[in-house]
A and B are shown apart, each in its own frame.
Chain A
Amino acid sequence: AQSVTQLDSHVSVSEGTPVLLRCNYSSSYSPSLFWYVQHPNKGLQLLLKYTSAATLVKGINGFEAEFKKSETSFHLTKPSAHMSDAAEYFCVVSDRNSGNTGKLIFGQGTTLQVKP
Protein backbone atom coordinates (compact mmCIF):
# COMPACT_ATOMS: atom_id res chain seq x y z
CA ALA A 1 0.00 0.00 0.00
CA GLN A 2 1.11 3.50 -0.69
CA SER A 3 1.64 5.97 2.13
CA VAL A 4 3.35 9.20 3.04
CA THR A 5 4.93 10.26 6.30
CA GLN A 6 5.57 13.87 7.13
CA LEU A 7 8.38 13.81 9.62
CA ASP A 8 7.55 17.04 11.43
CA SER A 9 4.11 18.08 12.63
CA HIS A 10 5.30 21.62 13.31
CA VAL A 11 8.17 23.68 11.88
CA SER A 12 9.06 27.16 13.03
CA VAL A 13 11.43 29.46 11.10
CA SER A 14 12.29 33.12 11.09
CA GLU A 15 11.34 35.28 8.15
CA GLY A 16 14.10 35.27 5.55
CA THR A 17 15.57 31.92 6.61
CA PRO A 18 15.32 28.65 4.65
CA VAL A 19 12.37 26.31 4.93
CA LEU A 20 12.63 22.50 4.93
CA LEU A 21 9.53 20.33 5.25
CA ARG A 22 10.30 16.63 5.20
CA CYS A 23 8.30 13.87 3.57
CA ASN A 24 8.98 10.17 3.06
CA TYR A 25 6.82 7.99 0.89
CA SER A 26 6.16 4.33 0.43
CA SER A 27 5.06 3.05 -2.94
CA SER A 28 5.24 -0.14 -4.93
CA TYR A 29 4.86 1.78 -8.14
CA SER A 30 6.51 4.79 -9.67
CA PRO A 31 4.65 7.36 -7.61
CA SER A 32 3.05 10.65 -8.40
CA LEU A 33 3.87 13.00 -5.54
CA PHE A 34 2.45 16.38 -4.69
CA TRP A 35 2.75 19.14 -2.15
CA TYR A 36 -0.37 21.11 -1.29
CA VAL A 37 -0.72 24.10 1.01
CA GLN A 38 -3.74 25.05 3.07
CA HIS A 39 -4.10 28.49 4.59
CA PRO A 40 -6.49 28.89 7.52
CA ASN A 41 -10.12 28.33 6.57
CA LYS A 42 -9.20 27.75 2.95
CA GLY A 43 -9.11 24.84 0.54
CA LEU A 44 -5.97 23.15 -0.73
CA GLN A 45 -3.69 24.82 -3.24
CA LEU A 46 -1.25 22.84 -5.36
CA LEU A 47 2.36 23.90 -4.81
CA LEU A 48 4.09 21.42 -7.07
CA LYS A 49 3.99 17.88 -8.42
CA TYR A 50 6.38 15.13 -9.42
CA THR A 51 5.35 12.73 -12.19
CA SER A 52 8.61 10.99 -13.16
CA ALA A 53 10.09 13.75 -15.27
CA ALA A 54 12.80 15.90 -13.64
CA THR A 55 13.62 14.89 -10.08
CA LEU A 56 13.94 18.54 -8.99
CA VAL A 57 10.52 20.08 -9.22
CA LYS A 58 9.89 23.80 -9.05
CA GLY A 59 6.59 25.08 -7.80
CA ILE A 60 4.84 28.31 -7.06
CA ASN A 61 5.97 31.00 -4.64
CA GLY A 62 9.61 29.91 -4.72
CA PHE A 63 9.06 26.39 -3.40
CA GLU A 64 10.77 23.36 -4.83
CA ALA A 65 11.07 19.68 -3.99
CA GLU A 66 13.49 16.95 -4.90
CA PHE A 67 12.44 13.37 -5.57
CA LYS A 68 15.05 10.94 -4.20
CA LYS A 69 14.15 7.37 -4.99
CA SER A 70 17.06 5.90 -3.01
CA GLU A 71 15.87 7.69 0.11
CA THR A 72 12.13 7.48 -0.71
CA SER A 73 11.93 11.16 0.09
CA PHE A 74 10.25 14.22 -1.40
CA HIS A 75 11.25 17.11 0.83
CA LEU A 76 9.92 20.61 0.24
CA THR A 77 12.27 23.58 0.44
CA LYS A 78 12.28 27.33 0.02
CA PRO A 79 15.39 29.50 0.28
CA SER A 80 13.79 32.35 2.18
CA ALA A 81 10.58 32.20 4.20
CA HIS A 82 7.97 34.92 3.98
CA MET A 83 5.31 35.68 6.55
CA SER A 84 2.66 34.69 4.01
CA ASP A 85 4.10 31.15 3.90
CA ALA A 86 2.64 30.40 7.32
CA ALA A 87 0.15 27.61 6.64
CA GLU A 88 -0.36 23.85 6.74
CA TYR A 89 1.51 21.82 4.16
CA PHE A 90 0.54 18.37 2.94
CA CYS A 91 2.69 15.82 1.18
CA VAL A 92 0.49 13.65 -1.03
CA VAL A 93 0.88 10.49 -3.10
CA SER A 94 -1.47 9.32 -5.80
CA ASP A 95 -2.79 5.83 -5.10
CA ARG A 96 -2.13 4.00 -8.33
CA ASN A 97 -3.16 0.74 -6.70
CA SER A 98 -6.68 1.89 -7.40
CA GLY A 99 -6.03 1.62 -11.11
CA ASN A 100 -5.32 5.14 -12.28
CA THR A 101 -8.21 6.65 -10.36
CA GLY A 102 -8.40 9.83 -8.36
CA LYS A 103 -7.54 8.73 -4.86
CA LEU A 104 -4.94 10.83 -3.11
CA ILE A 105 -3.27 9.70 0.09
CA PHE A 106 -2.34 12.57 2.39
CA GLY A 107 0.32 12.92 5.01
CA GLN A 108 -0.74 14.23 8.39
CA GLY A 109 0.42 17.73 7.56
CA THR A 110 3.14 20.08 8.75
CA THR A 111 2.25 23.42 10.25
CA LEU A 112 4.76 26.05 9.21
CA GLN A 113 5.13 28.99 11.55
CA VAL A 114 7.08 32.02 10.32
CA LYS A 115 8.33 34.41 12.97
CA PRO A 116 9.09 38.04 12.19
Chain B
Amino acid sequence: KAGVTQTPRYLIKTRGQQVTLSCSPISGHRSVSWYQQTPGQGLQFLFEYFSETQRNKGNFPGRFSGRQFSNSRSEMNVSTLELGDSALYLCASSSPSTGGRETQYFGPGTRLLVL
Protein backbone atom coordinates (compact mmCIF):
# COMPACT_ATOMS: atom_id res chain seq x y z
CA LYS B 1 0.00 0.00 0.00
CA ALA B 2 1.13 3.51 -0.71
CA GLY B 3 1.78 5.61 2.36
CA VAL B 4 0.38 8.97 3.35
CA THR B 5 1.22 11.62 0.80
CA GLN B 6 1.33 15.35 1.33
CA THR B 7 1.57 18.15 -1.19
CA PRO B 8 3.35 20.40 -1.62
CA ARG B 9 6.47 19.35 0.26
CA TYR B 10 7.82 22.89 0.55
CA LEU B 11 6.12 26.24 0.47
CA ILE B 12 7.20 29.84 0.88
CA LYS B 13 4.59 32.49 1.56
CA THR B 14 4.54 36.05 2.84
CA ARG B 15 2.71 37.42 5.85
CA GLY B 16 -0.98 38.01 5.26
CA GLN B 17 -1.31 35.43 2.51
CA GLN B 18 -3.25 32.21 2.85
CA VAL B 19 -2.14 28.66 2.13
CA THR B 20 -3.77 25.30 1.47
CA LEU B 21 -2.03 22.03 2.20
CA SER B 22 -3.20 18.66 0.97
CA CYS B 23 -3.06 15.17 2.43
CA SER B 24 -3.97 11.84 0.86
CA PRO B 25 -4.37 9.07 3.44
CA ILE B 26 -3.47 5.44 3.11
CA SER B 27 -6.06 3.62 1.05
CA GLY B 28 -8.93 2.50 3.28
CA HIS B 29 -8.11 4.89 6.10
CA ARG B 30 -10.96 7.21 6.95
CA SER B 31 -9.43 9.29 9.72
CA VAL B 32 -6.99 12.10 9.00
CA SER B 33 -5.26 14.18 11.67
CA TRP B 34 -3.08 17.24 11.27
CA TYR B 35 -0.15 18.33 13.44
CA GLN B 36 2.12 21.33 13.54
CA GLN B 37 5.78 20.87 14.42
CA THR B 38 7.96 23.79 15.47
CA PRO B 39 11.28 23.90 17.35
CA GLY B 40 9.74 25.85 20.19
CA GLN B 41 6.40 24.13 20.69
CA GLY B 42 7.18 20.66 19.40
CA LEU B 43 4.40 18.62 17.87
CA GLN B 44 0.90 19.95 18.46
CA PHE B 45 -2.44 18.57 17.37
CA LEU B 46 -4.43 20.76 15.01
CA PHE B 47 -7.56 18.77 14.18
CA GLU B 48 -8.91 15.41 13.11
CA TYR B 49 -11.41 14.53 10.42
CA PHE B 50 -13.41 11.36 10.06
CA SER B 51 -15.99 10.73 7.36
CA GLU B 52 -15.91 14.39 6.28
CA THR B 53 -16.61 15.64 9.81
CA GLN B 54 -14.26 17.39 12.17
CA ARG B 55 -14.16 15.10 15.17
CA ASN B 56 -11.64 16.90 17.35
CA LYS B 57 -9.81 20.21 17.39
CA GLY B 58 -6.67 21.47 19.09
CA ASN B 59 -5.98 24.88 20.57
CA PHE B 60 -5.27 26.86 17.45
CA PRO B 61 -6.88 30.09 16.28
CA GLY B 62 -9.69 30.11 13.77
CA ARG B 63 -7.22 31.02 11.01
CA PHE B 64 -6.48 27.32 10.90
CA SER B 65 -9.19 25.28 9.25
CA GLY B 66 -9.56 22.04 7.43
CA ARG B 67 -11.89 19.79 5.57
CA GLN B 68 -12.17 16.25 4.36
CA PHE B 69 -13.58 14.99 1.12
CA SER B 70 -15.65 11.91 0.41
CA ASN B 71 -12.54 10.03 -0.74
CA SER B 72 -10.94 10.78 2.68
CA ARG B 73 -8.42 13.21 1.24
CA SER B 74 -8.01 16.21 3.48
CA GLU B 75 -6.91 19.80 3.15
CA MET B 76 -5.93 22.32 5.74
CA ASN B 77 -6.00 26.04 5.21
CA VAL B 78 -4.23 28.80 7.06
CA SER B 79 -5.45 32.32 6.40
CA THR B 80 -3.69 35.60 7.13
CA LEU B 81 -0.33 33.94 7.63
CA GLU B 82 1.93 35.06 10.44
CA LEU B 83 5.66 34.54 10.83
CA GLY B 84 4.96 32.12 13.66
CA ASP B 85 3.07 29.83 11.32
CA SER B 86 6.38 28.73 9.83
CA ALA B 87 6.50 25.05 10.66
CA LEU B 88 6.43 21.50 9.43
CA TYR B 89 2.82 20.43 8.99
CA LEU B 90 2.30 16.72 9.33
CA CYS B 91 -0.70 14.71 8.31
CA ALA B 92 -1.50 11.28 9.71
CA SER B 93 -4.09 8.72 8.73
CA SER B 94 -5.56 5.82 10.65
CA SER B 95 -8.06 3.06 10.24
CA PRO B 96 -10.88 3.11 12.79
CA SER B 97 -10.83 0.51 15.49
CA THR B 98 -12.55 0.09 18.78
CA GLY B 99 -11.33 1.75 21.91
CA GLY B 100 -9.49 4.59 20.27
CA ARG B 101 -6.37 2.54 19.83
CA GLU B 102 -5.88 3.01 16.14
CA THR B 103 -2.34 3.64 15.00
CA GLN B 104 -1.58 6.81 13.08
CA TYR B 105 0.71 6.72 10.09
CA PHE B 106 2.41 9.95 9.13
CA GLY B 107 3.21 11.55 5.84
CA PRO B 108 6.52 13.31 5.08
CA GLY B 109 5.10 16.71 5.93
CA THR B 110 4.84 20.09 4.26
CA ARG B 111 7.45 22.60 5.33
CA LEU B 112 5.96 26.10 5.31
CA LEU B 113 8.13 29.18 5.53
CA VAL B 114 6.40 32.51 6.10
CA LEU B 115 8.45 35.59 5.25
Q: What is the minimal beta-carbon distance from B30 to any residue of chain A, in angstroms?
A: 10
Pair A101/B101 contact, Cβ less than 8 Å: no
Q: What is the minimal beta-carbon distance from B90 to any residue of chain A, in angstroms?
A: 6
Which of chain A's residues 93-108 have a Cβ closer than 8 Å to chain B? Answer: 94-96, 98-108
Pair B56/A104 contact, Cβ less than 8 Å: no
CA distance A21 to B106 in the complex (A): 22
Pair A102/B56 contact, Cβ less than 8 Å: yes
Interface digits, B59-79 against A, CB 8 Å rule (1 contact, 0 not)? 000000000000000000000
Residues of B near A95 (CB, < 8 A) are: 45
CA distance A70 to B29 in the complex (A): 35
Besides A43-B108, A104-B43, A104-B45, 8 more A-B contacts (Cβ < 8 Å) are: A32-B100, A44-B106, A100-B99, A101-B48, A103-B56, A104-B92, A106-B44, A108-B42
| Chain A contact residue count (CB 8 A cutoff) | 27
Task: Name B's interface SS.
Answer: strand
Residues of B near A52 (CB, < 8 A) are: 101
Pair A98/B56 contact, Cβ less than 8 Å: yes
Pair A44/B90 contact, Cβ less than 8 Å: yes
Some 16 contacts from A to B, beta carbons below 8 A apart, are A36-B106, A43-B108, A46-B105, A49-B103, A94-B101, A98-B100, A100-B98, A101-B55, A102-B50, A102-B56, A103-B33, A103-B45, A103-B56, A104-B43, A106-B35, A109-B43
CA distance A102 to B31 in the complex (A): 8
Q: What is the minimal beta-carbon distance from A41 to any residue of chain B, in angstroms?
A: 8
A55 interfacial contact with B, CB 8 Å:
no
CA distance A49 to B108 in the complex (A): 20
A14 interfacial contact with B, CB 8 Å:
no
Chain A residue, CB-CB nearest to B108: A43
Pair A46/B90 contact, Cβ less than 8 Å: no
Pair B50/A101 contact, Cβ less than 8 Å: yes
B58 interfacial contact with A, CB 8 Å:
yes
Residues of B near A90 (CB, < 8 A) are: 43
Residues of B near A96 (CB, < 8 A) are: 100
Most buried by B among A100, A101, A106: A101
CA distance A42 to B43 in the complex (A): 14
